[in-house]
Amino acid sequence: MIHASLAQLRRALDSRQISSVELATLFLDRIDALNPQLNAFISVDRAGALSAARAADERIAAGTAEALTGIPLAHKDLFCTEGVLTTCGSKMLANFVSPYDAHVVSLLKAAGAVSLGKTNMDEFAMGSSNESSYYGAVSNPWKTTHVSGGSSGGSAAAVAARLVPIATGTDTGGSVRQPAAFCGITGIKPTYGLVSRYGMIAYASSLDQGGAFGASAEDCALLLSAMTGFDPRDSTSLERAREDYAAALVAPDTGTKPLAGLRIGLPREFFAEGMADDVRAAVEAALEQYRALGATTVEVSLPNARLAIPAYYVIAPAECSSNMSRFDGARYGHRAAEYSDLADMYSRSRAEGLGAEVKRRILVGTYVLSHGYYDAYYLQAQRLRRLIAQDFQAALTQCDVIAGPTTPTTAWALGEMADDPVQMYLSDIYTIAVNLAGLPGLSQPCGFGADGLPVGLQLVGDYFSEARLLNTAHQLQHVTDWHTRRPATA
């Protein structure tokens, strides 16, 4: 059961081979046994999970089960959960119990999914290694001396080590795709606006987007289908009919060319210098598989992609500095024990409650938004954002899907980049531009590097092409077994 796909779990639950309570207990016991070495969870909610599982068993008995009814999952700890701690990886929210559920949490509860707890993350989702968490770094299940990636590192590590079959995450600059790549699982960030941000603690609002982690594209499709949908409480939620991404997957048929006609664009800039040899070898092998499946590959260009990181590190900190002003020690969260006046209360509460990386991004944002610098920084970054988005549109006239590495290297050692924020920023070179454009992106496992750590292949498509991305990954997963490999810890 531990390694079963969601479809297999569904059959087991519906045929009463296992109950939802038994399934939840199985995974909760694994969390108890394996989480001490991985640190993937910040909170485990055994009582809440078992109560939700009992309700799911009643639904199954009544014949009203949906695709996720009775399926265990975990939420990244920035989705507000009523009655369960939501820390966002920060000391600032160490005592924060949300009075309401995030929209995504409500949707998954209504679908009958069973939340086992909340996963570790970089503080306020600001980081690429999960090392900025106040609750400690997450270990990579494939090599516990290495990082899980970030910021949704806890969710990715938990799914990779099979502490839970599926998990939610968020992606502002690569925070679903990069940890999915580092942990050898599949992760998808949909088109900006498909997943409601209501109750999702904000980092950079014009870029933040909820996403899904699973062992396979099929599992991600099932989870994502349940997470999307219009929500009037999020002003940027898109008024579109919900899609059933799992139903859109084409049943693979060995011996045919299931991807005949699919044009895969390879951005020249993503295959240039900077990509490690072992990553390149795995990515090239996956592309060869795609050609065998009938797809054709064509070189495309994203000439402004190299500017995505500098533009992102203006736009994201600017939005972050505004969003983070809500943490003032007045209404919720940490308040300093001693202060002289109101301004001092704010300054000390924030100094004590926030970590170094969060403070740096707030200060950068404060600077680029200040009088006299706004045009040179913020508007220039937004102009580059348009050029980057236009590059993708031009490339997508020549191809249906853009493919390349998710990350330039496999996971690095814990502590290796802890003192060099810029070096860590540069590791998001292939993912960040996708957020600036607001396009959907997916990472799927495509092999292992020289050190035995997983390599991810990124697929990017036009707006609302989630079904195509998931099916493209699904077809590769039918002819390869990277997605079924499990780390020794699992």
Partner 1 sequence: MSLSNEQVGHLARLARIALSDAEIDATRVKLDGIFALIEQMQAVDTTGVEPMSHAQELPTRLREDTVIETDQREAFQRIAPQTESGLYLVPKVIE
Contact status: 394 vs partner 1 (CB under 8 A): no
Residue 151: active-site member: yes
Cβ pair 177, 431 in contact under 8 A: yes
Which of 90, 128, 151, 321 is flagged as catalytic?
151
Task: Please state the closest distance from residue 382 (CB atom) to partner 1, in A.
Answer: 3
CA angle 108, 109, 112 (to 5 degrees): 90
Cα–Cα distance between 427 and 406 in angstroms, integer? Answer: 10
Label the pairing between strands 166-170 and 72-76: parallel
Task: Please state the closest distance from residue 185 (CB atom) to partner 1, in A.
Answer: 26
- Can you tell me which of 51, 301, 380, 480 binds partner 1, judged by CB under 8 A? 380
CA angle 112, 117, 406 (to 5 degrees): 95
What part of residues 439-478 is at the interface with partner 1 (CB under 8 A)? 439
Contact status: 3 vs partner 1 (CB under 8 A): no
Contact status: 485 vs partner 1 (CB under 8 A): no
Is the Cβ of residue 373 or residue 452 nearer to partner 1 in the bound state? 373
Q: Which residues contact 190 (CB under 8 A, 6 or more apart)?
A: 209, 210, 211, 224, 228, 440, 466
Contact status: 37 vs partner 1 (CB under 8 A): no
What part of residues 104-133 is at the interface with partner 1 (CB under 8 A)? none
Which of 175, 216, 349, 443 is flagged as catalytic?
175
- Can you tell me which of 16, 145, 344, 393 binds partner 1, judged by CB under 8 A? 344
Which of 20, 76, 128, 225 is flagged as catalytic?
76
Contact status: 377 vs partner 1 (CB under 8 A): yes
Residue 19: active-site member: no
Cα–Cα distance between 381 and 404 in angstroms, integer? Answer: 25
What does residue 204 show for φ and ψ, rounded to 5 degrees?
Answer: -130, 100
- Can you tell me which of 438, 445, 456, 461 binds partner 1, judged by CB under 8 A? 438
What part of residues 226-255 is at the interface with partner 1 (CB under 8 A)? 232, 235-236, 238
Contact status: 141 vs partner 1 (CB under 8 A): no
Task: Please state the closest distance from residue 120 (CB atom) to partner 1, in A.
Answer: 22
- Can you tell me which of 54, 59, 263, 335 binds partner 1, judged by CB under 8 A? 335
Q: What is the DSSP string of 31-68?
A: HHHHHHHH--EEEE-HHHHHHHHHHHHHHHHHT---TT
Binding segment for partner 1 (CB under 8 A), chosen from 44-52, 176-184, 348-356, 454-462, is: 348-356
- Can you tell me which of 292, 376, 394, 488 binds partner 1, judged by CB under 8 A? 376
Structure-token match 């859109």, residue found: 248
What part of residues 177-216 is at the interface with partner 1 (CB under 8 A)? 191-193, 206-207
What part of residues 257-316 is at the interface with partner 1 (CB under 8 A)? 304, 307, 309-311, 313-314
Is the Cβ of residue 252 or residue 310 nearer to partner 1 in the bound state? 310
Q: Which residues contact 63 (CB under 8 A, 6 or more apart)?
A: none
Contact status: 418 vs partner 1 (CB under 8 A): no
Q: Which residues contact 294 (CB under 8 A, 6 or more apart)?
A: 256, 257, 258, 259, 260, 261, 262
Beta bridge partners of 187: 213, 443
Cβ pair 68, 110 in contact under 8 A: no
Give catalytic residues, as residue numbers: 76, 151, 175
